[in-house]
Amino acid sequence: MPQIGPYTLTNAVALAPMAGVTDLPFRQLCARLGAGLVVSEMVNSNPRLRNTDKTRLRTRHDAEIEPRSVQIAGNDPQQMAAAARYNVALGAQVIDINMGCPAKKVCRKAAGSALLADEPLVLDILQAVVAAVQVPVTLKIRTGSSPQARNGVSIARIAEDAGVAALAVHGRTRACAFRGRAEYDTIADIVAAVDIPVFANGDIDSAEKAEAVLRHTGAAGVMVGRAAQGRPWLCGQIAARLATGSTPPAPSLAQQVALLHDHVSALHLFYGDFLGPRIARKHVGWFLQHQPQWLTHRAAFNALDDSAAQLHMIDQLFTGTTAENMAA
């Protein structure tokens, strides 16, 4: 199993950090359903943002599986080092550095995947963060700034030399964003170039795909991102396939609805009566995308702003109801 510093993961499947997605309730759910590592939403390294509600929620780790991994983002080495120390004091056991996000609002600040174009700055940030904390430091990257400038191998070697404990590599460049297909040849080259564990990321949407990507790249593990939205059991399915060679079925429809009910209830508790129902809408929407027979009810659910009403609608529409009845 992959090793990150002193931590041996229970399996080789990690849930990718995703802003607005991998909050504490979702991380807890995916871990319970089989993810071997879950990573927090991106936490801005700017110290002026530490006392905001968003940062406060993103740095909670109640009853979270270990190792507790927190992703930080920024472009100033000393701010990043301070952010690492701050999050370790709050309970982080692994510090993950974001150099993979392609979002314009992140890259405009020369952070995220924009950093890949500045290798000296990458080195400065990694050295500062590694020196600042006693916990393992990991790094999430893309394969480069653009298809014409794939420097992922060079970045990976810089990371290893700086003391980074593990890498996650998304098989697209910054310029590609999420368009087109992920490519895994560069990830294979990175695996061959370094001795630290590498997690392959990008377009891993099934257990069979995960197995094929590991076979192609030789990576130590896979990292699942958008495909887990609406399917929090996917990491567990992948882990089972890698362990046994066979893919367990997804939970039954009744079990999926029960999981959704529990997840929405946890979101209400975590975010409160105002924000909780609003956050729940997108998670229910992702679930419904995989249940086209119920997708017409998305608008009605999104119109609800009361916690009890949302749970009641889930129970009334879904629990014990077959797809045939819903379609009738």
Cα separation, 250 vs 252, in Å, equals 6
Which residue in 101, 107, 176, 235 is the catalytic one? Answer: 101
Place of tokens 């098989």: 171
235 is an active site residue: no
Cα separation, 237 vs 18, in Å, equals 20
Cα separation, 209 vs 300, in Å, equals 35
Q: 130 Cβ partners below 8 Å, 6+ apart?
A: 137, 162, 163, 164
From 204, 195, 235, 170, select the one nearest 2 (Cα to Cα). 195
Distance, first Cα to last Cα, the chain: 48
Burial of 60 by CB count in 10 Å (0-12 exposed, 13-18 middle, 19+ buried)? middle
Place of tokens 């270990």: 66
Place of tokens 């700055």: 121
- The strand pair at 166-170 and 198-201 is best described as parallel
Yes or no: say if 163 and 137 are a contact pair by the CB < 8 Å rule. Answer: yes
* 168: β partners: 140, 199
DSSP state string for 80-138: HHHHHHHHHHTT-SEEEEEE----HHHHTTT-GGGGGG-HHHHHHHHHHHHHH-SS-EE
Where in the sequence numbering do the catalytic residues fall? 101
